[in-house]
Amino acid sequence: MPLLVTNYILLLVGSISSTLLSRYYFIHKGRSRWVSTWVQTAGFPLLLPPIYLPYYLFRSTPRRPFSHFTLPILLLSLLVGLLLGLNNLLFSWGNSYLPVSTSSLLLSSQLLFTLILSVLIVKQKLTFQNLNCVILLTLSSILLGLGSSDDRPTGLTRSNYFVGFFCTIGAGLLFALYLPVMERIYRRVDSYLMVMEMQLVMEAVATLLAVVGMVASGGGVEEMRRESEEVFDKGARAYWGTVIGNAATWQLCFMGTAGMVYLTSSLTGGICMTALLAMNVLGGVVAYGEEFGGVKAVSTVLCVWGFCSYVYGMYVKMKRGINNDNVTSAGEEDGGDNGNGGGGKIQVTEMGRGDAVANNV
């Protein structure tokens, strides 16, 4: 549970701050979508200390870094890294055109995709709570899309607005594919340290893809230097602070997401991310003075309603499971069980796999 709470805090802080910083970059005349794509994974070296220090400095684990990596795991990490890089590019395009609040609410559509793909890839069970939550969040996105035609920033054409709209939907779809694929891969993973190692490889590949795109488009370090001095209206110091801060906060977001999927499930991870959308909407309103009219208010209410219904359903399910375990344990004791029966079986539920991985962390 402490590890699970830590990962959700990372996701909370990383999601809100990275979204606001990305928008800040474009608001103040930052214009390179490849730079915005690059910073989303360029913070991957921050994973090196927690990967290497426990073994080489603290001697707190006998496991050598990357010693359990197999060729299939490496190939899967490389492939998912390319998928992640493409997702980041679509997100950057969408975020460059749309307000933070609109972009955040549109991304809630990824939950519908996550549910469908989780059923197909990891055999997720459909329940009333799942469907109710997904339907409410999908209605929230549709309502926003139909009612936000007047929400375009000044000077943004209708065509560019819809480019941002569909790029954001595409980013949601790719990220929805990423979550259950990672859940399936994590079934081969033996510890949280290995999750960080895989995340390092995937983000390095995504960063390389962004670098190739920057160079191919005639950019690179020189373009960033020129943009910081001649284009960004807050000056070079604010520019580099934004870039570095964005790289660090995106790292928190991705690592929090990976940890949530590993410790729980892809659907639960998607639900928890969706819960942060309302915070992102409020962040855009508070930080940038974005309009918060009736459409966004209703969309936010539907978003929160769907998440709360899911959490309540999972609470009832977990409580029922605990009661069943108590009844089973009592029955085994009455039957003279010596401790080798089903009472010691680990229960892996949709809500979490904390007990299953506790011995491997």
Contacts of 318 (CB under 8 A, 6+ apart): 349, 351
How close are the terminal C-alpha atoms of the chain, in Å?
12
User: Does the pLDDT value for residue 102 go beyond 70?
Assistant: yes
Taking residue 76's Cβ as centre, other Cβ atoms within 10 Å add up to 19
Three-state SS for 268?
Answer: helix
Nearest in space to 247 (alpha carbons), one of 12, 56, 14:
14
| Res. 244: pLDDT tops 90 | yes
pLDDT, tens digit, for every residue of 181-199?
A: 999 999 888 899 999 999 9
Task: Name the residue with higher pLDDT: 294 or 43.
Answer: 43
Q: How confident is the model at residue 361 (pLDDT cuts 50, 70, 90)?
A: very low
Is the per-residue pLDDT at 332 higher than 70? no
Residue 253: pLDDT over 90: yes
% of the chain surpassing 90 pLDDT: 32
Digit-coded pLDDT (tens) for 213-243: 888 887 778 888 889 999 999 999 999 999 9
The answer to whether residue 354 scores a pLDDT higher than 50 is: no
Query: Residue 99: pLDDT above 50?
Result: yes
Q: Of 196-200, 205-209, 355-359, which range is least confident? A: 355-359
Tens of pLDDT along 314-330? 778 778 877 777 776 66
Contact 17, 283 (CB under 8 A): no
The larger pLDDT score, comparing residue 334 to residue 175, is at: 175
| Confidence at residue 289, expressed as pLDDT on a 0 to 100 scale | 81
Q: Over range 140-163, report the average pLDDT.
A: 68
Q: What is the per-residue DSSP string for 49-94?
A: HHHHHHHHTS---SPPTTTT--HHHHHHHHHHHHHHHHHHHHHHHH
The confidence score (pLDDT) of residue 71 equals: 92
pLDDT (0 to 100) of residue 111? 77
Contacts 24+ apart (CB under 8 A), 60-65: 61/193, 63/191, 63/193, 65/193, 65/197
